[in-house]
């Protein structure tokens, strides 16, 4: 597997590296960025906001969106992205799945068509505590493209911290599938904090298995992993 694991003693250094990595990709001509949400990405987007990076000739595709949250809800990924990045660093075009589409399956199919027209140069990824990438929960076949997913109880619990209560966390989402993620030319994955240890260990030491979706990245040719965790490769 072509996986580079970079371990940082300080998260500030990690996010500096990540921001510079993306800026370098823009300079090298990357045009299409796959973007992620979650707490992990907030310091990166802050860093990019404060940088002189210019995404105005670039296109973005977000990994996922909750189904049924009003677009102006502070935790919709649409609003998250506007606030964290797009209002400050405009792109030529931003794509996110529409979680309010009347027919969510048709919306997923449409997103796949858009992705087919815009191959992703660099895909940014976080990871869920259960190893999910995007919202591809354990058990998701690796062949899935963008699809509708029912979130696991553990993912809803993990994300409840962003809402007033767990009851407000949507039960469904639209997510790029693992097949889409594997199409990206390069993947930059960030895993920070002890809660991500088991998932990261499964990537670097475990067998490829749908039980931990992150392990599929062992099959990708170009993955850079940034972490503050000491993970032994043995």
**Residue 118 carries which DSSP code?**
S
* Complex with ligand GLP: residue 57 or 150, whichever CB lies closer: 150
**Nearest distance in Å: CB 133, ligand GLP:** 7
- With CB under 6 A as the contact rule, the residue among 15, 17, 25, 40 that binds ligand GLP is 40
* Complex with ligand GLP: residue 151 or 204, whichever CB lies closer: 151
Region 85-114 residues binding ligand GLP, contact defined as CB under 6 A: none
* Complex with ligand GLP: residue 38 or 97, whichever CB lies closer: 38
| 3-state class (DSSP) for residue 100 | coil
- With CB under 6 A as the contact rule, the residue among 130, 155, 180, 202 that binds ligand GLP is 155
Determine the interface stretch with ligand GLP among 26-34, 108-116, 127-135, 140-148 (rule: CB under 6 A).
127-135
* Complex with ligand GLP: residue 76 or 159, whichever CB lies closer: 159
- With CB under 6 A as the contact rule, the residue among 38, 99, 177, 213 that binds ligand GLP is 38
Active-site residues: which are they? 64, 130, 132, 137
- The label of the residue with tokens 């499964």 reads 202
Q: Edge to edge, what strands does the sheet with 172-175 contain? A: 64-66, 172-175, 147-150
- With CB under 6 A as the contact rule, the residue among 64, 65, 121, 186 that binds ligand GLP is 64
**Nearest distance in Å: CB 36, ligand GLP:** 5
- With CB under 6 A as the contact rule, the residue among 128, 170, 177, 213 that binds ligand GLP is 128
Alpha helices by DSSP H, the chain:
11-27, 42-49, 77-81, 104-117, 153-159, 178-183, 197-205
Q: Does 115 bind ligand GLP (CB under 6 A)?
A: no
Q: Does 126 bind ligand GLP (CB under 6 A)?
A: yes
Distance CA 200, CA 14 (A): 16
Distance CA 97, CA 99 (A): 6
Tell me, residue by residue from 158 to 197, as one string, x for binding to ligand GLP by CB under 6 A and - for no binding: -x--------------------------------------
Distance CA 25, CA 99 (A): 30
Distance CA 108, CA 111 (A): 5
Distance CA 64, CA 173 (A): 7
CA proximity to 156, closest of 144, 168, 141, 164: 168
Q: How far is CA 70 from CA 76, 93, 102, 104, in A?
A: 7, 21, 13, 15
- With CB under 6 A as the contact rule, the residue among 63, 104, 188, 223 that binds ligand GLP is 63
Could you list the residues that contact ligand GLP (CB under 6 A)? 36-40, 63-64, 126-128, 134-135, 155, 159
């Amino acid at each position: 597997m072509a996986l580079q694991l970079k371990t940082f003693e300080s998260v500030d250094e990690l996010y500096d590296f990540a921001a510079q990595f993306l800026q370098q990709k823009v300079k090298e001509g990357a045009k299409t960025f796959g973007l992620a949400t979650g707490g992990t990405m907030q310091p990166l987007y802050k860093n990019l906001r404060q940088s002189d990076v210019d995404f105005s000739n670039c296109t973005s595709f977000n990994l996922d969106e909750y189904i049924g949250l009003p677009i102006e809800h502070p935790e919709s990924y649409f609003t998250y992205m506007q606030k964290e990045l797009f209002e400050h660093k405009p792109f030529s075009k931003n794509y996110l799945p529409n979680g309010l589409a009347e027919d969510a399956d048709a919306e997923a199919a449409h997103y796949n068509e858009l992705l087919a027209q815009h191959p992703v140069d660099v895909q940014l990824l976080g990871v869920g505590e259960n190893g999910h990438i995007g919202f591809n929960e354990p058990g998701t076949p690796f062949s899935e493209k963008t699809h509708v997913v029912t979130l696991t109880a553990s993912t809803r619990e993990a994300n409840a911290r962003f809402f007033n209560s767990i009851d407000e966390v949507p039960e469904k989402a639209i997510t790029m599938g693992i097949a889409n993620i594997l199409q990206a030319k390069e993947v930059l994955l960030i895993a920070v904090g002890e809660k991500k240890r088991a998932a990261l260990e499964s990537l670097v030491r475990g067998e490829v298995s749908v039980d931990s979706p992150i392990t599929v990245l062992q099959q990708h040719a170009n993955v850079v992993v940034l972490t503050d965790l000491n993970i032994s490769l043995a």
